[in-house]
């Protein structure tokens, strides 16, 4: 799937999530935390960091060299890896950050598997 379509999917899923949050009266603090980390997950920490050419890889500057030896759709597209990262974040109490990062990664992986 092309990157722009991924971004559209991220935005659509985020709007849906915000609507659900507003319906259930989730606090604005938690909503803001989810929103910020969703955007960070979309723009900078996308699972496509392992791709040879990805827009998120270009955005992270010199950190892109960390992903030189990874193959596309390898461990970065593994849901277990994403859940592991989110469990660590949840351990420190940032459930909004966890939901934002995991949610955007899950949307990406689902879109990759469908299209
Ligand atoms: Zn991908």
**Can you give the three-state secondary structure of 18-87, one letter per residue?**
HHHHHHCCCCHHHHHHHHHHHHHHHHCCCHHHHCCCCHHHHHCHHHHHHHCCCCCCCHHHCHHHHHHHHH
- Give the pLDDT score at 1: 62
Model confidence, pTM:
0.79
Do residues 82 and 106 make contact, with C-beta atoms less than 8 angstroms apart? yes
Q: 76: CA distance to ligand 1 center in Å? A: 9
Q: 24: CA distance to ligand 1 center in Å? A: 31
Q: 107: CA distance to ligand 1 center in Å? A: 10
- Give the pLDDT score at 82: 77
Q: 39: CA distance to ligand 1 center in Å? A: 16
Q: Which of 89, 79, 70 is nearest to 110 (CA)?
A: 79
- Give the pLDDT score at 74: 81
Q: 38: CA distance to ligand 1 center in Å? A: 16
- Give the pLDDT score at 77: 84
């Amino acid at each position: 799937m092309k990157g722009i379509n991924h971004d559209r999917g991220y935005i659509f899923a985020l709007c849906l999530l915000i609507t659900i949050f507003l319906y259930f009266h989730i606090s604005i603090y938690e909503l803001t935390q989810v929103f910020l980390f969703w955007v960070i997950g979309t723009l900078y920490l996308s699972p496509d960091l392992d791709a040879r050419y990805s827009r998120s890889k270009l955005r992270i500057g010199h950190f892109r060299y960390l992903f030189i030896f990874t193959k596309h759709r390898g461990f970065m597209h593994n849901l277990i890896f994403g859940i592991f990262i989110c469990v660590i974040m949840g351990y420190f109490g940032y459930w909004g950050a966890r939901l934002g990062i995991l949610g955007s990664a899950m949307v990406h992986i689902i879109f990759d598997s469908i299209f």
